[in-house]
Structure 1
Amino acid sequence: MATVHPSDHPTMSNQPFSLQEYYASCHNNGSLTLLLMPISRHTQNILRSPGHSASISVSSDRPAASRARVSLMGTVTVFHDARGMPDREAIKLCYLAKHPDASWWLPDDDGAAHLSFWARFDPHDVYFVGGFGDQHYIGYIPLQIYQEALSAVAPDFSLAGRILVEQL
């Protein structure tokens, strides 16, 4: 995930920040489920961003220049009250299936290690690198194609699979 430090940050004003973050593909339209924690630099940046903006990169298990990868640019909706999140139980089960260790950080858990919130990342732009440019597509993918990819055929297909289906 990549975010941008807020303009009033004492040393990193408007500078990018990037680290790996957990996400799960729990929505049929390609939106991603996130678990945000106020102690996280990304969460702080997202909450301070006027548009709650972020970017998430997805690649194969073994990234290489010849392998497909994608960057999703979008906005984050934070559910400060977990009870207000649509499909809360289904999302929770989906997320925990992908990240079982996240059970220690779930929202509304009095015994959780940290305060956390459910969030949904909604892409508005998709940039795809299929591998080497002389052999594979490199460029933006229309959002509708991304959102509809595999949703009727295999709704639980991974995000990478959603993007890579066009390469097969």
Structure 2
Amino acid sequence: MRATLLFSLAGLTAALNPPSPQHIFSNPEYNARSTYKIPTVHESAVQARRILRLENIGTLSTVFPNTHSTENRPSEVSGAPIGLMDYYADCEAESGNPTILAITIATSFKNEAAGSNITLSLRWHPRDGRKFYSAAAFPRYSLLGYLEDISPKEALSQNVIGCFVKNHPDAAAWLPGNRIHESKWVRLVVQEIYWIGGFGDRAYIGWIPQEEWQNVTKEEIDSITLPGEKAQGWGSWKTWLGLGAEEQDDVPWEL
């Protein structure tokens, strides 16, 4: 009975004095439960640039304009944001500005032409083939900027077609000059980067300055391997969560 009473009092004390929540931008340098070191802003920028290289599909987010005189849209969507999947390719490795084949009839590009801001959101998809992983543990981020036309001469000199079609063979059907849809080459000029590297006790969460994004070198991008990039497995999921041997024994459930 006494043990039960003490346990109840301990629970009441914990409820009345809950631990202070970690601020999302606090980014602690050391986690007492593990040996993880929080990556620096520059290290996070390198990871983001590698993701830009290895992924090739993202979400373009724009906002509907206030007028819809030529569109059959509900009036209620004026000013509402919308995110839609689109292709991109990392064809300008020095700047880190993604290359996009803009189909001018598509909603994202019509909204942008009407004055909307635009962002490209990406997330890392592991390649190791495991059936279980926590998507929340992997990096994701958004690139904020504006679209800038790539001239035909520039596209030719930079082999934009070759780069883009290598990433998206099916896009060969709607290259500029095709008979299906009007299209053009544009780059997303990156101005701001918002990064979530994973769980906050072991990954950087916050803004990456434009200069950090642009100063990442090809050698740095080549030098790292993202989590789950190769078929090597995670080992025990409890170990992956940063639990020590004693803590693993205390966890009563398995997946």
Query: Structure 1 stretches of 5 or more lacking a match?
Result: 162-168
Q: Which has the larger radius of gyration?
A: 2
Bigger helix fraction: 2
CA shift, 1:78, in A, is: 2.9
For 1:64-89, what per-residue CA distance to the aligned partner results, in whole angstroms no more than 9, with x for missing partners? 1100111100100135xx52545555
| Aligned counterpart, 2:141 | 70
1:15 aligns with 2:86: no
Q: Please, which moves more after superposition, 124-133 or 55-64?
A: 55-64
Q: Once superposed, what is the RMSD of the aligned Cα atoms?
A: 2.3
Tell me, in whole angstroms, the C-alpha distance in 2 between the residues paired with 1:95 and 1:47.
23
Matching residue within 67, 89, 104 for 1:38: 104
1:2 aligns with 2:68: no
Letter in 2 for 1:123: V
CA shift, 1:150, in A, is: 2.6
Query: Structure 2 stretches of 5 or more lacking a match?
Result: 1-59, 69-74, 127-133, 227-255
Contact kept? 1:85, 1:118, Cα under 8 Å: no
For 1:79-136, what per-residue CA distance to the aligned partner results, in whole angstroms no more than 9, with x for missing partners? 5xx5254555511111111111000000023xx3211111111110001101011221
Contact kept? 2:155, 2:185, Cα under 8 Å: no
- The share of aligned pairs that are identical, in percent, is 31
| Aligned counterpart, 1:54 | 118
Tell me, in whole angstroms, the C-alpha distance in 1 between the residues paired with 2:192 and 2:166.
27
1:144 aligns with 2:211: yes
SS at match of 2:87: coil
Output the TM-score relative to the length of structure 2.
0.54
Tell me, in whole angstroms, the C-alpha distance in 1 between the residues paired with 2:79 and 2:87.
24
Output the TM-score relative to the length of structure 1.
0.80
Tell me, in whole angstroms, the C-alpha distance in 2 between the residues paired with 1:88 and 1:37.
22
Tell me, in whole angstroms, the C-alpha distance in 2 between the residues paired with 1:149 and 1:5.
34
Q: How does 1:110-129 map to 2 (within 5 A)?
A: 112-129=179-196
SS at match of 1:118: strand
Matching residue within 176, 181, 198 for 1:107: 176
Tell me, in whole angstroms, the C-alpha distance in 1 between the residues paired with 2:96 and 2:172.
23
Matching residue within 6, 22, 29 for 2:95: 29
Number of aligned pairs? Answer: 151
Letter in 1 for 2:214: Q
